[in-house]
């Protein structure tokens, strides 16, 4: 508050400059740390020569199968018998793409079982994720 010499009394003014400075600092901190906040399941992917990167859209769904045969849809852990029912609830748009990330140490038979449950859920488009092979 400032004291006005011409008139008697105080003039009430809010100084917003420090507030804006603090908000800008918080915005910069958020922008820097936001990419590190994404949590995922660590999967050792198989390697191949031709690999396309996953799209960065928020609509993609990723199903992870770890080497101990645990299944995660995004960050939620599921059982194999519950997979089809849960996918039916989540996949409202049948044209939406589901990506399967299976660890290279998972037995092929288990991956086929998971793919069968995905088919039972009515998912029509399934992408399989792999890493680029280093030559």
Domain boundaries, the chain: 2-37, 47-132
Residues paired with residue 2 on neighbouring β-strands, in sequence order: 11
Name the pTM for this structure: 0.56
State the average pLDDT over residues 27-42: 73
State the average pLDDT over residues 78-107: 83
Can you give the pLDDT at residue 22?
93
Confidence band of 38 (pLDDT split at 50, 70, 90): low
Regarding predicted confidence, which is higher, 105 or 36? Answer: 105
* pLDDT > 70? residue 7: no
Cβ(41)–Cβ(75) under 8 Å? yes
- Range 47-132: architecture per CATH: 2-Layer Sandwich (3.30)
Percent of the chain with pLDDT over 70: 70
Cα–Cα distance for residue pair 11/110, rounded to 1 Å: 74
* pLDDT > 60? residue 135: no
State the average pLDDT over residues 29-39: 75
């Amino acid at each position: 508050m400032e004291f006005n010499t011409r008139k008697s009394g105080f003039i009430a003014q809010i100084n917003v400059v420090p507030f804006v400075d603090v908000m800008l600092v918080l915005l910069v901190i958020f922008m820097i740390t936001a990419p590190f906040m994404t949590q995922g399941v660590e999967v050792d992917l198989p390697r191949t020569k031709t690999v396309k990167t996953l799209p960065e859209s928020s609509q993609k769904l990723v199903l992870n199968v770890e080497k101990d045969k645990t299944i995660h849809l995004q960050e939620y852990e599921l059982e194999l018998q519950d997979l089809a029912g849960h996918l039916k609830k989540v996949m409202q748009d049948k044209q939406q793409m589901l990506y399967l990330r299976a660890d290279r140490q998972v037995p092929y038979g288990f991956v086929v079982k998971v793919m069968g449950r995905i088919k039972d859920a009515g998912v029509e488009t399934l992408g399989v994720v792999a890493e680029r092979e280093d030559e």
